[in-house]
Structure 1
Amino acid sequence: MSSNLQLIIKREFISRVRNRTFVIMTFLSPLIVVGMVGLIGWLTTLNSDEVKEVVVVDETKLFIQDFQNTKEVAYLDYSNFDLDVAKDSVISKKLYGLLYIPNKTSNDDLAKSIQFYAEESPNFSVLNKIERIISNKLTEQNYKNEGLNLAVIERSKAKINIQIENFSGEKTSKMSNYVKMAFGGLAGYLLMMFIIIYGNMVMRSVIEEKTNRIIEIIISSVKPMQLMLGKILGTSFAGILQFLIWVLLGGILLIIATSLFGIDPQPAGVDPSVALEASNQEEIQLLIQDILKLPLVTLVLSFFIYFVGGYFLYSSIYAAIGAAVDSETDSQQFMLPIILPLMLGIYVGFFAVIENPHGTVSTVFSMIPLTSPIVMLMRIPFGVPWWQILVSISLLIGSIIFMVWFAGKIYRIGILMYGKKPSYKELFKWLKY
């Protein structure tokens, strides 16, 4: 590495780290994230304490005993009141809603005639519980009308629990694919965010020096290619430092917040012992085994390689765009070639990989350099042949070399061009110089 390149990297790194906005956001961002988590937890607690009062007008007198009060919903029996009187009472008292069950001759007619009155759209979970209570009651009534024995029917119900096992005899959890997708999806999403955030930093740095005419002095002693690489490397080192500080501070603040405010990791209204008894112990053990069997070493190494490779690939494009325009507003016309592959990689990862991680779509997009850093990271937890990873990385490295050359040609010409918005046609002309 030449001394000029080292100086540029050092200059870019120090200018980023000493920047007031960088320092403020480095230490403020974890506080904002933890604050948002705490706010969501607090709002969830407020919601869980709110009891929804539902008035029930049951003209059949068949269902009212089945509506038992819970922590979320309280049922008020207005079956002895006229429907209009009950409506006025709900409106005046500002209650949650009114459930009207008319008296019909048949269960089929009754099922189609039940109504729920509310000023605003009722909560889906509340309606779902009400429908389930009424459905179960009507089903029992239908069984009795047909002369069927409910106890015999209940004993006759078969509970199926399909066991998943590979041909080597190893059992896996039903949630295994979702766990793998969570690990891969998190890695891919973090990579995309890093590319967008710090790629924009590179572009803004180039535009700033170009508009201030500092660049004319700098390139008198430094080659344009060295200047571009120095900006990319210096900004990436500053970004990695900021990212590590975020992880460290975020972890510390989350631990402090959970212990200080007593935030319960369990969902509101769920008793951990009940949840544990209700869950399948074997399924939990299998899930833990699946997490431990994940190729974590391969995933971490691959994340680092694709992290660096993807950043270099896209930062070269960002640097070229910054050199070609005079302001951030002018750069918007060139953003589509950057954002589109990143978004495509995320969509392919979440919709194609989880359905078929080794299918044609998933495999092809994990080889294409512009999408491979995201899609391949999402595929790796599912187990990817080593040769596919090597091919993908080789194509990525080759694309980085080409893109650095490509961006360097544009950077060399565009860095001294002022006062004109270049078109795609003009950018390709610059490649010939």
Structure 2
Amino acid sequence: MKKLKLIIKREFIAKVKNRSFIIMTFLSPLLMVGMGALVFFLTKKNKEKVKKIVYVDESQIFSKEVFKDSKTLLFEDYTKLGIEETKKKVEEGDYYGALYIPKKDSLEILASSIEFYSKDSPGLTVMDDIERKIESHLKNLKLNNFGIDLAKIKKSRISADIKMFNFSGEKSSKAKNLASIIAGGAAGYLLFMFVLIYGTSVMRSVIEEKTSRIIEVIVSSVKPFQLMLGKIIGNASAGLLQFFIWGLIIAGLSMILPLVFGVNVSEMQTAQVSAEQMEMVNEVAKSGKFERLIRGILDLPLLKMFVLFIFYFFGGYMLYSSLFAAIGAAVDSETDSQQFMTPIMLPLILGVYVGFFTVINDPHGPISVIFSYIPFTSPIVMLMRIPFGVAWWEILVSLLILILTFMSAVWIAAKIYRVGILMYGKKANYKDLWKWIRYSS
């Protein structure tokens, strides 16, 4: 145990003192926040640019009320000039484009005959806004032709809000389900990224020590199993410290930057929202759906989720890191590791896909349940299922299988490790790995 502690301490200090580790610990959050600020700034500047659009309405069924000006779109009626003259003027002037509405016998034919001319390809958002205006107006005209009163249709709109309960009387809601999706997805994705970044870090560490021949000195006084386990725990500790520092820096910058630059947070949130989408956002705010979403998040078993996140986080990381360490011991360079990486990465990627495409739609379905028991996918899939409510016996069975698999993986990896770390010059294959596992001494 004393030697294991020394190895963990050595790995942790070596990782933390590494220049690239220190630089990335403090630079990564700045880059993340900086990239977000840059995207927001560029988006805001793009939104501030006023686009002038002229239209020629030969059908005479569109009015200025339909093409209302907004902060970024200005419409001008050039119907009197005709389309050919308008196209010349737009091409020569500072206009975004020209909209041509021909005269047709029916609204259906008209809807598919409208044309838009511009110097460059128009943006999708702009075209979506124009199409929505046209579709809405044509729809209203068609309803009027059917003799339907639009005012009555508006009054007839009603939204249903079904209250959901389970048979034990516990209340649920769509907001709580959405909160569960967000929380579960974030936990699963975070675990995936952590395993990917720090699992490969363990592998690189083993390869470096193997190629530098330092490992030969170390294994003369330490058992390979202790050395491998110490590397895994030491790297995990350094990784958690880095994640914690990232969280503090990002949280601090998120609070400071808006105050320093005078940025309105609500403005940032709606920077990429169109006028019609903004109306929907306002309706949601008035209906109290946002407040219900917040209540849904607070109604989640947050303590239970956090505790189980720690268990699955370490279980998943330890399982995959032991396999990465075994790969590092079996190869002489990172290039040679590719043939062994694919079988390890596939279950991890499969867990993410099952989580996002199956658990979200059916958290208690057979596929979701099965993959939450399979140890190579359970850390991600079960973390995404927990916010939806999972029986304790299921969680305990899943954790037990994960722990047993982790112990087996460490034992197998240690057998590969004790032979592989002293093998040089020969490219190992799966047959060699099987031989190393079978060695009794």
Please indicate the TM-score interval, normalised by the length of the shorter structure: over 0.9
TM, length-normalised to structure 2: 0.92
- Amino acid corresponding to residue 104 of structure 1 in structure 2: K
Q: 1:160 maps to what in 2? A: 159
Within 5 Å, which residues of 2 pair with 1:20-169? 20-65=19-64, 66-155=66-155, 157-166=156-165
Secondary structure at 1:175 match in 2: helix
Give the Cα separation in 2 of the matches to 1:401 and 1:150: 68
Give the Cα separation in 2 of the matches to 1:273 and 1:149: 23
CA positional deviation for 1:194:
0.9
Within 5 Å, which residues of 2 pair with 1:252-331? 252-266=252-266, 267-268=270-271, 276=282, 279-331=285-337
| Contact 1:177/1:354, CA 8 A, preserved across alignment | no
Give the Cα separation in 2 of the matches to 1:108 and 1:16: 67
Give the Cα separation in 2 of the matches to 1:392 and 1:245: 31
Give the Cα separation in 2 of the matches to 1:216 and 1:171: 61
In the alignment, structure 1 residue 426 sits paired with structure 2 residue 432: yes
Distance 1:428 1:138, change over 3 A: same
Q: Deviations over 1:110-139 (max 9, x none)?
A: 222111223444333322332232233333
In the alignment, structure 1 residue 368 sits paired with structure 2 residue 374: yes
CA positional deviation for 1:170:
6.1
- Amino acid corresponding to residue 423 of structure 1 in structure 2: N
Q: 1:236 maps to what in 2? A: 236
| Contact 1:357/1:379, CA 8 A, preserved across alignment | yes
Within 5 Å, which residues of 2 pair with 1:346-361? 346-361=352-367
| Contact 1:98/1:118, CA 8 A, preserved across alignment | yes
Give the Cα separation in 1 of the matches to 2:186 and 2:361: 17
| Contact 1:353/1:362, CA 8 A, preserved across alignment | yes
How many residues in Structure 1 have an aligned counterpart in Structure 2? Answer: 431
My pick for the range that moved more, 39-48 or 16-25, is 39-48
| Contact 1:56/1:64, CA 8 A, preserved across alignment | no
CA positional deviation for 1:274:
9.7
Give the Cα separation in 1 of the matches to 2:317 and 2:84: 66
My pick for the range that moved more, 396-405 or 62-71, is 62-71
CA positional deviation for 1:385:
0.5
Secondary structure at 1:200 match in 2: helix
Q: Deviations over 1:302-351 (max 9, x none)?
A: 11001111111001001000000000111111111222111111111111
| Contact 1:26/1:245, CA 8 A, preserved across alignment | yes
CA positional deviation for 1:107:
2.3
Give the Cα separation in 1 of the matches to 2:193 and 2:221: 34
Distance 1:147 1:294, change over 3 A: closer
Q: Deviations over 1:291-310 (max 9, x none)?
A: 12101111100110011111
Give the Cα separation in 2 of the matches to 1:211 and 1:87: 69
My pick for the range that moved more, 369-378 or 331-340, is 331-340
TM, length-normalised to structure 1: 0.94
Distance 1:146 1:311, change over 3 A: closer
Distance 1:204 1:108, change over 3 A: closer
CA positional deviation for 1:151:
4.0
Give the Cα separation in 2 of the matches to 1:175 and 1:239: 33
My pick for the range that moved more, 55-64 or 283-292, is 283-292
Within 5 Å, which residues of 2 pair with 1:188-203? 188-203=188-203
- Amino acid corresponding to residue 23 of structure 1 in structure 2: I
Secondary structure at 1:431 match in 2: helix
CA positional deviation for 1:273:
11
CA positional deviation for 1:22:
0.8
| Contact 1:53/1:73, CA 8 A, preserved across alignment | yes
Give the Cα separation in 1 of the matches to 2:158 and 2:249: 47
- Amino acid corresponding to residue 61 of structure 2 in structure 1: L
Return the match for 1:381 from 358, 373, 387: 387
CA positional deviation for 1:172:
4.3
- Amino acid corresponding to residue 247 of structure 2 in structure 1: V
Q: Deviations over 1:382-418 (max 9, x none)?
A: 0111111000100000001100001001001100100
My pick for the range that moved more, 415-424 or 124-133, is 124-133
Distance 1:212 1:76, change over 3 A: same
Give the Cα separation in 2 of the matches to 1:73 and 1:55: 10
Secondary structure at 2:109 match in 1: helix
> What's the Cα RMSD here?
2.2
Distance 1:306 1:61, change over 3 A: same
- Amino acid corresponding to residue 336 of structure 1 in structure 2: T
- Amino acid corresponding to residue 383 of structure 1 in structure 2: G
Identity %: 53
Give the Cα separation in 2 of the matches to 1:367 and 1:278: 38
| Contact 1:172/1:287, CA 8 A, preserved across alignment | no
Q: Deviations over 1:83-121 (max 9, x none)?
A: 222222222225322211011233233222111223444
Q: Deviations over 1:156-195 (max 9, x none)?
A: x332323232156665443332221111111111111111
Secondary structure at 1:181 match in 2: helix
Distance 1:280 1:171, change over 3 A: farther
| Contact 2:201/2:235, CA 8 A, preserved across alignment | yes
- Amino acid corresponding to residue 53 of structure 1 in structure 2: K
In the alignment, structure 1 residue 205 sits paired with structure 2 residue 205: yes
Q: Mind listing any 5+ residue stretches in structure 1 that lack a counterpart?
A: none
| Contact 1:56/1:78, CA 8 A, preserved across alignment | yes
Give the Cα separation in 2 of the matches to 1:129 and 1:171: 39
| Contact 1:309/1:400, CA 8 A, preserved across alignment | yes
Give the Cα separation in 1 of the matches to 2:217 and 2:15: 20
| Contact 1:55/1:78, CA 8 A, preserved across alignment | yes
| Contact 2:176/2:300, CA 8 A, preserved across alignment | no
